[in-house]
Amino acid sequence: MTSADQPRRSCLTVPGSSERFLVKARSLAADELILDLEDAVAPAAKDAARTLIVEALTAGPTENWTAPLRAVRINEASRKLALVTAARGRAAGLRRS
């Protein structure tokens, strides 16, 4: 069973627009961290939040994260913002799992 298939006791959602929260999230002992780009981020802050999330996920080894699973909650897949987010993540070397 992969870690993606295991049941999760705790999932923590972190607003992607808060650099302070993203730094803190690295050390939190949740089963999964969800870095939010949707409801938790004002429309005017979404572009900066995308950058913060990509930087947080690509800075240093993945072992620096306590939570074994990390996900990014994006806008509805049919919206242009979702495509921008996916493209930026791929350019940074992030993968979908």
Domain count, the chain: 1
Angle at 23 between CA 17 and CA 25, to 5 degrees: 90
Judge whether 32 and 69 are in contact, CB under 8 Å.
yes
| pTM greater than the 0.75 cutoff | no
| 33 inside domain | yes
Residue 96 lies in a domain: no
What domain range is 25 assigned to? 11-91
Residue 1 lies in a domain: no
In sign, the C-alpha dihedral spanning 11, 5, 52, 76 is negative
Residue 6 lies in a domain: no
Residue 16 lies in a domain: yes
Asked whether residue 57 is assigned to any structural domain, the reply reads yes
pLDDT tens-digit series, residues 51-91:
898 888 887 776 677 777 888 887 666 666 666 666 666 66
